[in-house]
């Protein structure tokens, strides 16, 4: 079970330092945003009105996290300047939808272009590969701190690719240290297993599955040939960010289906009793506990388990 700790002062300070740094980078400390007559909040309201139809005041309050009184005063000021107009909402005649007037659209256009040009200038300072790194990091921040909309295809499975071995080794080493306090010898074991898998891979009898979500590896599992009649399931893992999507269950099902299709009689695996989530998946799939044996590995006293599924 993962232990969730409160963030330390070093992490809090790092986030605050990033906020200060990024604020300077995008020029939000200027008296007017992008040298325009609009404040940051005013510009954001104009942006929402320019890109979304049928907005009402309560939408701006909710989506931008603004005070209702402030939004009311701001819209009144925009109306007086001829930037916005109100009309009865089609969904509810009691609520007035807000839209930019031609004057408002004309006022917003240079602001939008200046913002585009400023970001382009910021990215132009970086090589294309670093631009990709920056955009990916920004998407990560947005994914972690923003809402989590449901997606029709939260992940997909694919075969092993170059680069996956290093990633899976690193992530398994880190996760088992974080969750169970295992030392670096477990990461070394994962590296040995995966190196052997690649070097002696037999596509006729062996298979790998990598679960990918939003361009990131979020899980994996491997089937290797132990004997003509026995296949072995190895190194099942799922990233904490992707748990609850059924990835672990799906990976085990793929292993079982592959082993049956290849004519194996038994699918076996070795695990430790503290890995409760994985054990529940194995039990639900029909695996039976064959033997247990205490051992000292990875810096801990553990109980190893062998589970078999008759195919």
Which of 72-81, 137-146, 175-184 has the lowest average pLDDT? 137-146
User: Between the CA atoms of 35, 41, 47 and 48, what dihedral angle is there, to the nearest 10 degrees?
Assistant: 180
Beta strands in the chain (DSSP E): 55-56, 84-88, 96-100, 156-158, 207-213, 216-225, 230-238, 266-272, 288-297, 300-310
* 241 or 262: which leads in pLDDT: 262
With a CB cutoff of 8 Å and minimum separation 6, the contacts of 236 are: 219, 220, 221, 248, 251, 252, 269, 278, 281
* Number of other residues whose CB lies within 10 A of the CB of residue 270: 14
What is the share, in percent, of the chain residues with pLDDT greater than 90? 47
Domain map of the chain by residue range? Answer: 9-145, 156-310
CATH number of the domain located at residue range(s) 9-145 in this protein: 1.10.10.10
Rounded distance, CA 260 to CA 141, Å?
A: 42
**28 pLDDT exceeds 60?**
no
Mean pLDDT, residues 239-254 taken together: 92
Band (94; pLDDT cuts 50, 70, 90): low
The pLDDT value recorded for residue 64 is 81
**32 pLDDT exceeds 50?**
no
**206 pLDDT exceeds 90?**
yes
Mean pLDDT, residues 145-149 taken together: 66
Mean pLDDT, residues 6-35 taken together: 68
> What is residue 34's DSSP assignment?
G
The pLDDT value recorded for residue 31 is 43
For the chain, helix (H) and strand (E) counts, in that order, are 10, 10
Which of 101-105, 128-132, 297-301 has the lowest average pLDDT? 128-132
Band (26; pLDDT cuts 50, 70, 90): low
**pTM (2 decimals)?**
0.57
Mean pLDDT, residues 146-175 taken together: 83
**2 pLDDT exceeds 70?**
no
Band (199; pLDDT cuts 50, 70, 90): very high
What is the share, in percent, of the chain residues with pLDDT greater than 70? 89
Band (4; pLDDT cuts 50, 70, 90): low
Mean residue pLDDT of the chain comes to: 85
Which residue is listed with tokens 């297993």?
Answer: 193
Q: Across-strand partners of 293?
A: 304
* 134 or 301: which leads in pLDDT: 301
Residues 189 and 177 sit within 8 Å (Cβ to Cβ)? no
Which residue is listed with tokens 């306090």?
Answer: 181
The pLDDT value recorded for residue 149 is 54
CATH of region 156-310, choose from 1.10.3290.10, 3.40.630.30, 3.40.1390.10, 3.40.50.1380: 3.40.630.30
């Amino acid at each position: 079970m993962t232990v969730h700790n409160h963030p330390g002062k070093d992490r809090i300070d790092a986030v605050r330092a990033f906020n200060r740094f990024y604020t300077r980078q995008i020029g939000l400390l200027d008296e007017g945003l992008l040298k325009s007559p609009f404040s940051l909040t005013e510009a954001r309201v104009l942006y929402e009105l320019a890109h979304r139809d049928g907005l009402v005041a309560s939408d701006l309050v909710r989506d931008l996290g603004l005070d209702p009184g402030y939004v009311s005063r701001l819209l009144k000021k925009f109306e007086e300047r001829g930037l916005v107009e109100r009309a009865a909402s089609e969904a509810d005649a009691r609520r007035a939808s807000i839209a930019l007037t031609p004057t408002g659209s004309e006022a917003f256009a240079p602001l939008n272009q200046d913002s585009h040009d400023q970001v382009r200038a910021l990215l132009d300072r970086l090589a294309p590969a670093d631009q990709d790194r920056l955009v990916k990091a920004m998407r990560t921040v947005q994914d972690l701190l923003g809402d989590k909309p449901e997606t029709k295809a939260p992940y997909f499975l694919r075969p092993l690719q170059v680069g996956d071995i290093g990633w899976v080794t690193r992530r398994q080493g880190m996760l088992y240290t974080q969750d169970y306090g295992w030392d670096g010898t477990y990461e070394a074991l994962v590296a040995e297993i995966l190196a052997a898998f690649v070097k002696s891979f037999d596509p006729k009898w062996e298979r790998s599955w990598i679960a990918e979500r939003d361009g990131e590896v979020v899980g994996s599992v491997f089937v290797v040939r132990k004997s003509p009649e026995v296949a072995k399931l190895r190194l099942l893992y799922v990233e904490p960010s992707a748990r609850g999507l059924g990835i672990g269950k799906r990976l085990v099902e793929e292993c079982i289906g592959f082993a049956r299709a290849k004519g194996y009689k038994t699918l076996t695996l070795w695990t430790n009793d503290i890995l409760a989530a994985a054990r529940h998946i194995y039990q639900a799939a029909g695996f039976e506990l064959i033997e247990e044996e205490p051992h000292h590995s990875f810096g801990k006293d553990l109980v190893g388990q062998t589970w078999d599924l008759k195919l």
